[in-house]
Chains A and B, each alone.
Chain A
Amino acid sequence: MQATQTITPDLSKWVRSPRVSIDFRESYGLDLLAAPYGGRPQFKLMPKYLVNGDGEEVVVQFNLTFEDGRMLPNWEELLFTPLGSVPPTLSGKLPPWNPENAPIYSKMLDPLIVELYRNDTNLQRLDANIPLFLDHSPESRRQLTIDRVRMVFLEDVVDAPNPNFVLLVFSYLDGYKVMQNGAGGGPPER
Chain B
Amino acid sequence: MPTGRALCIGVDTAASPGGLAEADACALADVARQQGFCSSTLLLGPEATIDRVRSRLRAAAAESQAGDLFLIAFSGHGGRKPVHAPRPGADGASSSTLRGVWVLYDGSLDDAAMHAELAAFRPGVRILVISDSCNGGVPGQAIDAVPERAHHARIAASVLVLSACSPERFADGPGMPAHFTTALLRAWHDGGRALDHRRFYEKVAAEMPAYQRPTYYWVGMPDARFEAQAPFTI
How many residue pairs at the A-B interface have CB separations less than 8 Å?
Answer: 110
Q: Is residue A114 contacting chain B, with contact meaning CB distance below 8 A?
A: yes
The tally of residues in B whose CB lies under 8 Å from a CB in A reads 41
Name, among A111, A134, A179, the residue most crowded by chain B CB atoms within 10 Å (CB to CB): A179
B91-123 contacts to A, CB under 8 A, are: 93-96, 98, 103-108
What DSSP secondary structure best describes chain A's contact surface?
mixed
Interfacial chain B residues near A30, Cβ < 8 Å? 80, 98
- A27-B81, A181-B77, A181-B103 are known contacts. Are A136 and B211 too (CB-CB below 8 A)? yes
B50-107 contacts to A, CB under 8 A, are: 76-84, 93-96, 98, 103-107
Q: Is residue B177 contacting chain A, with contact meaning CB distance below 8 A?
A: yes
| A98 vs chain B, min Cβ distance (A) | 10
| A102 vs chain B, min Cβ distance (A) | 4
User: Which of B28-36, B152-160, B165-173, B219-227 contacts the other chain?
Assistant: B165-173
A26-37 contact mask (Cβ, 8 Å, vs B): 1 or 0: 110010000000
Interfacial chain B residues near A171, Cβ < 8 Å? 13-15, 77
| A114 vs chain B, min Cβ distance (A) | 5
Name, among A105, A118, A137, A147, the residue most crowded by chain B CB atoms within 10 Å (CB to CB): A137
Q: A114-B13, A172-B14, A179-B170 are in contact. List 10 more A-B contacts (CB 8 A).
A: A30-B80, A110-B107, A119-B14, A137-B212, A139-B177, A172-B16, A178-B172, A179-B76, A180-B15, A181-B103
Closest 10 CB pairs of A and B: A177-B173, A172-B15, A171-B15, A27-B79, A102-B82, A117-B13, A137-B211, A102-B96, A178-B170, A106-B81
On A, residues with C-beta under 8 Å from B are: 26-27, 30, 99-100, 102-103, 105-106, 110-111, 114, 117-119, 134, 136-139, 147-148, 171-173, 176-182
> Can you give 7 A-B contacts (C-beta < 8 A)?
A26-B98, A27-B79, A114-B13, A114-B105, A172-B14, A179-B133, A180-B77
